Amino acid sequence: MNTTSRFVPPTRIGFVGLGIMGVPLVQRFLKKGLSVTVWNLEPERFALVQDAGAVWVDSPAEVCTASEVVFVCVLGDDALASVCLGEHGFVQAKGASLLVDFSTSSPAATLRVAAQLQEATGLVWLDAPMSGGPQAAREGKLTLLVGGDSKVYEQAKPLLSLVSSNLTRMGGLGSGQKTKILNQLLVGVNYVLMAELLTTAKAAGIDPHQLPECLKGGMADSTILQRIFPQMASGDFNPPKSYARQLNKDLKSVKVFVENLKLELPVVATAIQQYRNYTEAGNEMEDGASVSRLYEE
């Protein structure tokens, strides 16, 4: 990989993973004039980006061949390994020189898969898990938490800036995923806290719909109070803006991460268990914020 050139539009890019976040990311890249070649495990998802100009191919390997930079946004370690190292994965192709992983994966899987892929193909890796949700992706306002070589990061910044208004390199490869674990710790605990806040407000006879405006600008204010709490108070869960299974998976990663650091964090542990109780009671595909239903009884 050339360490002096920069990836700037109209770079040919590939994208694997057309989920809740993948679709608006592809739409954003297309809106900015890039050609985007895509693949997804469920082919019917292609219809969501076809009219915007995306091009379909039949495997991750073909995405890699057609692209200079490939982006990945899949669900977890197993999917990441399959896309990169599987029978029809990137490892079977030549083409792209840079891979940017938007997925939330474990730091260990990132290091392992990246090393195997680079050894086999020379493909250089940045881990860039994201925060902000689908609307932020459509508007180019995601927060990206990036890990990888500093020179490679500088090369990729023109492309990353198309979808992010706040991108930070946190260190070497895997640092982005470690930072995302910290992010999900905050998010997961706060989802459960908002659910308990809603329950308490109702029990106390306080109108929960007034709380976000009432507390705005104070020490208790937060994006989650302003965005997720009103969603919980209104029961606005359909269609899902995120899936409970995703946050539950991330919180399992938080649990392992904390245990490996030999920390005892009782507040975090309780929130993780509460979210798990809700999700694994048949609510995997419900909106992530619908955990407030856990307290309705």
**Tens of pLDDT, residues 125-151:** 999 999 988 999 999 999 999 999 999
* Topology annotation, domain 13-172: Rossmann fold (3.40.50)
Report pLDDT for 2.
55
Given a cut of 70, is residue 94 above it in pLDDT? yes
Report pLDDT for 126.
98
Q: Evaluate whether 106 touches 80 at the Cβ level (below 8 Å).
A: no
Report pLDDT for 119.
96
Q: Is the fold of 13-172 the same as that of 178-295? A: no
pTM strictly above 0.85: yes
Q: Evaluate whether 248 touches 280 at the Cβ level (below 8 Å).
A: yes
Compute the average pLDDT of residues 264-276. 97
Strand partners, 125: 99
Report pLDDT for 6.
76
Compute the average pLDDT of residues 258-270. 96
The tokens of 106 are what?
């474990």
Report pLDDT for 297.
66
**Tens of pLDDT, residues 214-238:** 999 999 999 999 999 999 999 999 9
| Per-residue confidence band for 1, with pLDDT thresholds at 50, 70 and 90 | low
Compute the average pLDDT of residues 171-178. 98
Give the side-chain half-sphere CA count within 13 A for 113. Answer: 28
Compute the average pLDDT of residues 158-186. 97
C-alpha 157/C-alpha 69 separation (Å) is 12
Of 181, 200, 179, 201, nearest to 189 (Cα)?
A: 181
Q: Where are the domains of the chain?
A: 13-172, 178-295
Query: Which amino acid appears at position 296 of this protein?
Result: E
Report pLDDT for 11.
85
| Per-residue confidence band for 10, with pLDDT thresholds at 50, 70 and 90 | confident
Of 216, 234, 232, 206, nearest to 288 (Cα)?
A: 232
Strand partners, 144: 130, 167
**Tens of pLDDT, residues 147-167:** 999 999 999 999 999 999 999
Q: Is 180 noted as a catalytic residue in this protein?
A: yes
Q: 283 phi and psi, to 5 degrees?
A: -115, 25
Q: Encode the chain in three state secondary structure.
A: CCCCCCCCCCCCEEEECCCCCHHHHHHHHHHCCCCEEEECCCHHHHHHHHCCCCEECCCHHHHHHCCCEEEECCCHHHHHHHHHHCCCCHHHCCCCCEEEECCCCCHHHHHHHHHHHHHHHCCEEEECCEECCHHHHHHCCEEEEEECCHHHHHHHHHHHCCCEEEEEEEECCCHHHHHHHHHHHHHHHHHHHHHHHHHHHHHHCCCHHHHHHHHCCCCCCCHHHHHHHHHHHHCCCCCCCCEHHHHHHHHHHHHHHHHHCCCCCHHHHHHHHHHHHHHCCCCCCCEHHHHHHHHCC
**Tens of pLDDT, residues 96-106:** 999 999 999 99
Mean pLDDT across the chain, nearest whole number? 95
Of 136, 68, 125, nearest to 102 (Cα)?
A: 125
Where does residue 249 rank: exposed (0-12), middle (13-18), buried (19+ CB within 10 A)?
A: middle
**Tens of pLDDT, residues 35-51:** 999 999 999 999 999 99
C-alpha 190/C-alpha 226 separation (Å) is 12
| Per-residue confidence band for 76, with pLDDT thresholds at 50, 70 and 90 | confident
Of the residues 180, 216, 249, 262, which is catalytic?
A: 180
Question: Residue with structure tokens 């260190």?
Answer: 171
Q: What is the chain's Cα-based Rg?
A: 20
Strands 142-147, 55-56: pairing is unpaired
Compute the average pLDDT of residues 161-180. 97
Percent of the residues in the chain that have a pLDDT greater than 70, as a whole number = 98
C-alpha 117/C-alpha 85 separation (Å) is 7
* Topology annotation, domain 178-295: N-(1-d-carboxylethyl)-l-norvaline Dehydrogenase; domain 2 (1.10.1040)
